[in-house]
Structure 1
Amino acid sequence: MSRHYPFCLSTLPTVFFAASLALLMPASVSPSLAQTASQQAALSDHAKTESRTEKTLSAESVQPQAAQTAVANPAAQKGITGRAIDKVKEVAKSAGDIFSRVPCQPPKGGNKSVGSLPHVASRLVAGEPVVIVAFGSSSTQGYGTTSPEFTYPNRLAAQLRRKYPTADITVINAGKGGEDAPEMMKRLKIAVIDLRPDLVIWQVGTNAVLRNLDPEETAKLVEEGVGRIQAAGADIVLIDPQYSPRVNEHAESAGKMTKLLGRVAELRKVGIFPRFAVMKDWHEGQSIPIDNFVISDGLHMNDWGYACFAQLLGDDIIKSVGQIKLGVHVPSDVRTYRPM
């Protein structure tokens, strides 16, 4: 995947929300300025005859008073704040309406289960905070989205919070464009394990395919990383490469990668979300044009692609947690495995 990420996109929502919060906070008015405002409000006709000295206030003193008066004006404050709130609602509505044109549907027959998530389930049942780390490359970081709101980790976080409204759920985006297993392993401890997550969603393998790296070597590194994450006590879901024109140019390597990652998941008793198969079904099974879910670079997903991916992943996580809560699916010992 590309190493270039449009960081300018990530700064806009931060500035906007900071501005919104500033508008929503009550203005702090010092006693002297409050008195000045009161005096100005109480001016009568005889005030027009005040001395020339009092009339010729400097620009430095007049401008702050005018600004303070505007902020203290309830009508003006309500108008500005109202516009800010309307903008927030507009953004939220756009996020909710993203599937209005093209519905997000799972493949026929459903997805393969992401596996059991006993740690996350137990934390939710106990009412304890849940920390999820989304680990990966540019499609985790969110390259191709029009706003950080539409990255898959943010979409997933919103979905889980809707499902578990009383739970304290944190989703950390630890994606870094251009990386694959060799680079990810170097920052695994700091970016993932040191955060003490309850669930790690690890998207990996695409850049290895694009670089013509040996799929088996990549799978060995992933298995090693999975072992380290399990030793730290977290549940894991692996995400395999995406179905897209540039990945499909390396069809043989992509096929091997998806199979080997599936084997790692099976051996290590962890979950896997078959992103390649899901996206392939969008195009070949549901007849959705590729440019409806992949941007013009032929590699990264667009807002709809990330949103549907996150929705289906979230559905699987919620289903798996529900099974654990009901005792339907009791996982085997994740420490028992056969090395590749």
Structure 2
Amino acid sequence: MLTGFMAVVPARAEDAPATCEVPAYLLSSESALPKVAEVVKKGGKLDVLVVGSRSSTINTSDGTAYPSRLQAILREKLPGVNVNIGVELQIKKTAEEVAAGLGKLAEERKPTLVIWQTGTVDALRSIDPDDFRVGVDDGVAALQSAGTDVILMNLQYSPRTETMISAAPYIDNMRVVAQQRDVPLFDRFAVMRHWNESGDFDLFSATHGVELAKRVHDCLGRALSKFLIDAAHIGPAQQN
């Protein structure tokens, strides 16, 4: 259910443009992205790999999913950097299953940064939260051993499924791994819940629309770009 949610995200009654406002504390991290910072400082090539599920995409081919929006925004904000973002879909795989191949994937693709979106499949399958934590930890360890920066991204928020699955244990365990491994955690769950509660998006309505999905993905791309820039300590002088 959640894996395909963003492809059919519901429209607001008034269909007004979203503000994309997010509390500052949700877009800052005490953990850093040193390799990203080094690339930006030298004006080199920034290769980012998004490892995720179907919610990394939209059922369109016009570059409106959040990885494409993130790429466009970073290229605008960092004109002296060659930003390229790829997507590696790991559909219907648990964190443990994905983690098994992350080291090899990083060695083959050689990204500067991996954004690992996980937690949805484990929550839907009711995987033991401790097993989930071990899987996430193993995956982050493999990526760090391969020499890449890491951002963890937790599952998306949906009030329609909140009573059907227990997301909290997976969110908490991802936060534990992020703290122990000293990697930034983009709290997508909290960001989307904020948008729902503030009225930017009605994520409970049963009415669906691709145009609304595009706006949510655009907002995610903008929020993630701010989060990445903060974690890499990229100052105003380095931005457009």
TM-score category of the 2 structures, normalised to the smaller one: 0.7 to 0.9
Query: Does the CA contact (< 8 Å) of 2:129 and 2:173 recur in 1?
Result: yes
Q: How does 1:34-45 map to 2 (within 5 A)?
A: none
TM-score, normalised with respect to structure 2: 0.83
Matched ranges for 1:34-183 at <5 A: 101-107=17-23, 109-114=24-29, 115-140=31-56, 142=57, 144-183=58-97
Between the aligned partners of 2:3 and 2:82, the Cα distance in structure 1 is: 33
User: 1:209–1:254: 8 Å Cα contact kept in structure 2?
Assistant: yes
Distance (whole Å) between structure 1 residues aligned to residue 85 and residue 66 of structure 2: 10
Kindly indicate which of the two structures has a greater share of residues assigned to helix: 1
Matched, 1:242 2:148: no
Amino acid at match of 2:103: K
SS of equivalent residue, structure 2 residue 224: helix
Pair 1:284–1:296, CA change in 2 (3 A): same
Name 1:79's counterpart in structure 2: none
| Structure 1 residue ranges without an equivalent (≥5) | 5-98, 327-340
Larger Rg: 1
Could you say if the C-alpha distance between residues 165 and 325 of structure 1 is closer, same or farther in structure 2, counting changes exceeding 3 Å?
closer
Q: Is the 8 A contact 1:295 1:302 kept in 2?
A: no
Count residues in correspondence: 224
Q: Secondary structure at the residue paired with 2:167?
A: helix
Q: Percent of aligned positions with the same letter in both sequences? A: 30
Change in 2 beyond 3 A, CA 1:261/1:247: farther
Look up the SS of the partner of 2:228 in the other structure.
helix
Q: Does 1:290 align with 2:213?
A: no
CA contact (8 A) 1:152 1:310 kept: yes
**Equivalent of residue 124 in structure 2, options 195, 210, 218:** 210
Quote the offset at 1:323 in angstroms.
Answer: 4.9
Residue 172 of structure 2 is aligned to residue 231 of structure 1: no
Whole-Å separation in 2 of the counterparts to 1:186 and 1:320: 26
The list of structure 1 runs, each at least 4 consecutive aligned residues, that deviate by more than 4 angstroms after superposition, is: 1-4, 294-297, 323-326
Greater RCO, CA 8 A, separation 6+:
2
CA RMSD of aligned residues (A): 2.8
Unaligned runs of 5+ in 2: 5-14
- CA gap of 1:158–1:218, structure 2 versus 1, over 3 A, is same
Question: What residue is the counterpart of 1:315 in the other structure?
Answer: 226
Q: Which amino acid aligns with 2:174?
A: L
Partner of 2:103: 189
Partner residue of 1:40? none
Q: Helix, strand or coil for the counterpart of 1:111?
A: helix
For the residues of structure 2 that align with 1:129 and 1:283, how far apart are their CA atoms?
36
